Structure 1
Amino acid sequence: MAIEVQVPTLGESITEGTLAQWLKKPGEAVAADEAIASLETDKVSVEVPAPVAGVLTEQLVSEGDTVAVGAAIARIDENATAGAATATPAQAAAASTTNPAGAGETPALRGAELAPERAAAVSEASSGDDHITTLSPAVRRAVLEYHVDPSTIRGTGKDGRLTKDDVIAAAQNKTATALEAKTPSAPAAPAPAAQSKATTTGERKEERVKMTRLRQTVARRLKEAQNTAAMLTTFNDVDMTAVIEARARYKDLFEKKHGIRLGFMGFFVKACALAARDVPAVNASIEGDEIVYRDYFDVSIAVSAPKGLVVPVVRNAQAMSFAEIEKTIAEYGKRAKEGTLTVDDMTGGTFTISNGGVFGSLLSTPIINPPQSAVLGMHRIEERPVVKDGQIVARPMMYLALSYDHRLIDGREAVTYLVRVKEAIEDPTRLLIDL
Structure 2
Amino acid sequence: MKVLILGSGGREHAIGKKLLKDFHSMDLYFYPGNGGTDQIGKNLEKIYTPLELCLFAKKNAIDLTIVGSEVFLLEGIVDIFNNFKLKIIGPHYLAARLEGDRIFAKSFMKKYGVRTPKYKIFSCYQKAMDYLENTTYSVAIKTNGIASGKGVILVNNKNEAKKALNSILIDKKFGKSGNQVIIEELLKGNEASIISIFNGKNIIPFLSAKDYKKIGEKEIGLNTGGMGTIVPNPYMTSDVWIDFQKNILEPTLEGLFLEKLTFFGFIYFGLMITSNGIYLLEYNTRLGDPETQTLFPLMKSNLLNIIQSSIDQEYIYIYWKKLYSCCVVLSSKGYPKKYEIGKIIKGINSLKEPFYIAGAKKEKEKWITSSGRVLNLIGIGESIEKARKIAYNKVDQIYFENFYFRKDIGF
The higher-RCO structure (CA 8 Å, 6+ apart) is 2
Structure with the bigger percentage of helix: 1
Q: State TM-score, norm by structure 1.
A: 0.25
Structure with the bigger percentage of strand: 2
